[in-house]
Structure 1
């Protein structure tokens, strides 16, 4: 079954131009990497290989094929916009870079294979959604064989299902997927989200349900 998110229930506070720029940069760079041999050669240093800072930061701009690119950009658009338009564009860029580094370090330490793709950083943004909006609803399309439809659920349900899938994949040997980058980015994003809420860097509004931090502390939402 294929499950594709298309919206998160949260109120837009500002235009998420930083996330739009990230989507555009990843898309354009990946297309050059995939379809222009000379550009692909020039972009090789951006591949994650060891602890090169260029690779640790630049691998998010490259993707293995069009399916990889489209899937990642869809998730980045949905989850990235939800976070960016609520924490602010500059904070969002800092968070994205942090998740990128944490995902890359986890992949190098626990797997060691070279990789490309924004999925580790995107999992970090998904982790932030779990920290900030676990009870808000996510709307999704589903496809199975020749049938399809849509449904919604609270964010924590689908996010923890994806997390469990990544754990299963990582423990099962990877299957050519950078599962350790997914897990490193996700846990980093949850940690950043909880820390930002605790320190007051990120604020919820009355429209949103309780954050994960408030649930753990058994606190009500402050309107």
Structure 2
């Protein structure tokens, strides 16, 4: 009978920027301010239309996400507008409801008065909450018509340094919101391990910046100080201009 030899302990070290996810964990949860607290889960765009009509912000973002045939889950979490306690309670209650990525969308330069403060507070609350859990990610999508307002808005949210927060922004196209964040997640959230957000390109349904090349000076002037990514031509190919989180 062969002798059994005892091996010394084996140490395995992995060093991934993104963990290997279980099947179905590429889901997205859209956080929406509303009049009541609700939670909805969808596995196809056909089920979304029962609650949200085409042309509404929720439907169009779900449609963008399900544009990838591999997208498994789209959830809508609604909290009471302007109520930080409601937002915190909702995200705490449904944090482990299935989605790996949280998505928040707001056309920031159309806001005024208390709405500016409400959105900035929501952004800070969401980002810091996800950061404290240290196991999921949040994407903020800030389309705009006035690029000069972006830097001050993001700076005021106090999310700098959060490694679980990724911020994207691009201008409206002829006044139309293309829901950049939802399109990005349809591609990136369903990607295999190792895909870099910097080189997510050719996003279906998203128009690159209206410049042949988005140069270094453009990035440094508007996006680099606050780690905001946009979608533009780089070396003739439309792609994200950055792949960094708020931590840099």
TM-score (norm 1): 0.29
Of Structure 1 and Structure 2, the greater helix share is in 1
Q: Of the two, which has the highest radius of gyration?
A: 2
Query: Greater strand share, 1 or 2?
Result: 2
Q: With a CA cutoff of 8 Å and minimum separation of 6, indicate the structure with the bigger relative contact order.
A: 1
